[in-house]
Amino acid sequence: MNKKANTALFIIGATLVNMLLIFIIMMLLIALTVVLFPDPSPGVAQVVFLFVFIASIALSFFIYNKVIKYISKKVDMDKYFHPIFRPKRR
């Protein structure tokens, strides 16, 4: 395969893994809130769910960045992937 195909497959795979990570973190946080707040009022439940949603996105972004930095140290990305953003021409 060429670099452009590798890049496209990497982006698709990384997006799917990130979405799965968000889902898993969200389910874990929802399970934790059910244990901590067994019978919340509707207003509290909405606020807690909003917090869980935002926290799951933030945590998945943090984990994703750490994994990509680790992979970048181990693998020469320029060798296998086409650059997505090109430097500005002057």
Does 74 fall in a domain?
yes
Q: What is the DSSP string of the chain?
A: --HHHHHHHHHHHHHHHHHHHHHHHHHHHHHHHHHH-SS--HHHHHHHHHHHHHHHHHHHHHHHHHHHHHHHHHS-HHHHS--SSPPPP-
Q: Average pLDDT of 54-82?
A: 86
Task: Please report the pLDDT score of residue 90 as a whole number.
Answer: 65
What's the mean pLDDT in 52-78? 88
Residue 90, in any domain of the structure? no
Q: Is residue 88 part of a domain?
A: no
Higher pLDDT, 89 or 4: 4
Specify whether the CB–CB gap between 71 and 81 falls below 8 A.
Answer: no
pTM: 0.77
Residue 72, in any domain of the structure: yes
Q: What confidence score (pLDDT) does residue 53 get? A: 94
Of 8, 11, 14, 28, residue with least CA distance to 61: 14
pLDDT value of residue 42: 84
Q: How confident is the model at residue 37 (pLDDT cuts 50, 70, 90)?
A: confident
Q: Which domain holds residue 55?
A: 3-80
